[in-house]
Amino acid sequence: MSAIVENGIEAGTWNKYESRNPLQRWLVRRFLGSLAGLAESCGPGTSTAIDVGCGEGVTTALLRDHGLRQIRGLDFSAQIIDVARARNPGIPFETASIYDLDERYRSDFVSACEVLEHLERPELGLERLAAVCSGHCLLSVPNEPLFRGLNFCAGKYWSRWGNSPGHLNHWSSAAFVRFVATRFEIVQVRRPLPWTIVLARPKP
């Protein structure tokens, strides 16, 4: 399926979750497995959850199936939300930007997987996530420059030196942990090649 572009921004993650490349499929399975394991560690006692930047709902369904039963998905793109609803009946989805997060979205568990690297204002995005999180926050970004290097070696985005479309921010694993620590207390860090995943709790 072709990518969806809304307001000049590419929505969804078709090139990742629907790849036919065996290596990429293996890497994505490891990535999703890490997310699932962290979700299971937070599931008990979690009554409300939101998946910010949910795209077509892959991570939303994964988190629901691994303990976060009351999760709802949010994305800036109305078109991609329509796709998420069609693919994941039974999960509530709504159109909302990360910058729109306020008390209406306060939840025990908040996730933003593969979101922060796309933001023109990542500091504000992280601030909004911390403001609505009352328990655990699950965050992931590409581990750079490894991510770009693997893209380049695979023959992808050569003219952009391996940089995926829409990626505005580039953190090494250590740099991303430091960035998250400006608003959160770090609980766990996982590094399934080529991503960094952080489980954190908002600072008091």
**CATH for 168:** 3.40.50.150
Domain interval for residue 161: 4-202
Number of domains the chain contains: 1
β partners of residue 166: none
- The span from the CA of 95 to the CA of 69, in Å, is 20
pTM: 0.91
Percentage of the chain modeled with pLDDT above 70: 91
pLDDT, tens digit, for every residue of 53-89? 999 999 999 999 999 999 999 999 999 999 999 999 9
Average pLDDT for the chain:
90
Q: Please give the structure tokens belonging to residue 184.
A: 């959160």
Q: Above 70 in pLDDT, residue 178?
A: yes
Q: What is the 3-state secondary structure (H, E, C) of 121-184?
A: CHHHHHHHHHHHEEEEEEEEEECCCHHHHHHHHCCCCHHHCCCCCCCCCCCCHHHHHHHHCCCE
β-strands 9-11, 107-113 pairing: unpaired
β partners of residue 102: none
- Other CB atoms within a 10 A radius of the CB of residue 17 amount to 16
Q: What is the pLDDT of residue 5?
A: 67
